[in-house]
Amino acid sequence: MSPTRPVVLDTVAAVRETLDAERAEGRTVALTPTLGALHDGHLEHVRRAAELADIRVVSIFVNPLQFGPSEDLDRYPRTLEADLDALAAEGVPYVFAPAVEEMYPAGPAQTHVVAGRVGSMFEGRSRPGHFDGVLTVVAKLLNIVQPDVATFGQKDAQQLFLVQRMVRDLDLRTRIEVVPTVREDDGLALSSRNRYLDADQRRAARALPRALEAAASAADLGVDAVVAAAQSVLMGEKLVEVDYFKVVDPATFEPVPDDFRGTARALLAARVGTTRLIDNDELHLG
Ligand code: PAF
């Protein structure tokens, strides 16, 4: 017998009514927000969520606000049936899958969360307005679902930093649980975008985790050595076009000075063919 599929809630009112009833029975709620096209990385979130709360909700919403005019909103994979099967196998009881009109009934939201300075750096520089769109929809999802805990992936390090910051700045009640990056056997971080890579590009994409490994191995020697080690791996791969490689202070997400010592995070974004991939790793700078 196939496992029971999650109940799909597609209105804000239905989510509130359903979860209020669960809470009235004393149950706690965990939210995993997604754009859908679920892969094993997302399933790791729902597995972790099962350890953190009684009831799990996965939101599946391709949020137009976080896509720029030249980005892949229409091309973004929409695989609701397969997503529901995958979540059924994990025993997830509820999916919130609203239409765009349900989330933005009066057209694009006039009231936005603004991601601030960090929101315009790195990913935000390549994708202007992206993080305002992410934070606005995350704030809405947290208000709609009112979860005790919500899972966010370490893979999207800048998004994670900004969501944690928003929760603090706006005194939101939800606790943010960080889920470590899930990787293929060769180290490539799982991403919905990996499906766009052809065989040669897929092979070339291994340069991203290899560059981060090289960076971590050079960390004892300082920031310049880290950058040089990563660059030497990335420059050896013709199909990889680097957008940025930066070392940031995890407390501020600002680039570290050359003489920085302690725990930092290396951020990497690159195009492989037409597909933009990001990855990151912790560094212990000596
Ligand atoms: O990381 C994502 O999948 C999205 O940015 C999120 C958090 C679901 C907001 O749309």
Cβ of 227: how many Cβ atoms within 10 Å?
Answer: 17
Sheet holding 149-153, edge to edge: 7-9, 94-96, 55-60, 29-34, 149-153, 175-179
42 is catalytic: yes
User: Residues enclosing ligand 1, CB less than 6 A?
Assistant: 33-35, 63, 66, 134, 137-138, 156, 159
Which stretch of 19-28, 65-74, 197-206, 271-280 has the lowest confidence by average pLDDT?
65-74
Please state, rounded to an integer, the average pLDDT across all residues of the chain.
97
Tell me how far the alpha carbon of residue 184 lies from the centroid of ligand 1, in angstroms.
21
Tell me how far the alpha carbon of residue 137 lies from the centroid of ligand 1, in angstroms.
8
- Whole-number Cα distances in Å, 76 to 98, 158, 228: 16, 21, 34
As a whole number, mean pLDDT of residues 144-155 equals 98
Taking CA atoms only, the protein residue closest to ligand 1 atom 3 is: 34
Residue 23 CA to residue 14 CA, distance in Å, equals 14
Q: What atom in ligand 1 is closest to the CA of residue 61? A: 10
State pLDDT tens for residues 203-260: 999 999 999 999 999 999 999 999 999 999 999 999 999 999 999 999 999 999 999 9
Tell me how far the alpha carbon of residue 72 lies from the centroid of ligand 1, in angstroms.
14
Cβ of 40: how many Cβ atoms within 10 Å?
Answer: 12
Higher pLDDT, 69 or 21: 21
pLDDT at 24: 98
Q: What atom in ligand 1 is closest to the CA of residue 33? A: 8
pLDDT at 108: 81
Tell me how far the alpha carbon of residue 272 lies from the centroid of ligand 1, in angstroms.
22
Q: At 19, is the secondary structure helix, strand, or coil?
A: helix
Judge whether residue 9 has pLDDT over 80: yes
What are the structural domains, with CATH classification, of the chain?
7-179 (3.40.50.620), 192-285 (3.30.1300.10)
State pLDDT tens for residues 170-205: 999 999 999 999 999 999 999 999 999 999 999 999
State pLDDT tens for residues 39-90: 999 999 999 999 999 999 999 999 999 999 888 799 888 999 999 999 999 9
Q: What atom in ligand 1 is closest to the CA of residue 59? A: 8
Q: Choose the catalytic residue: 42, 45, 112, 130.
A: 42
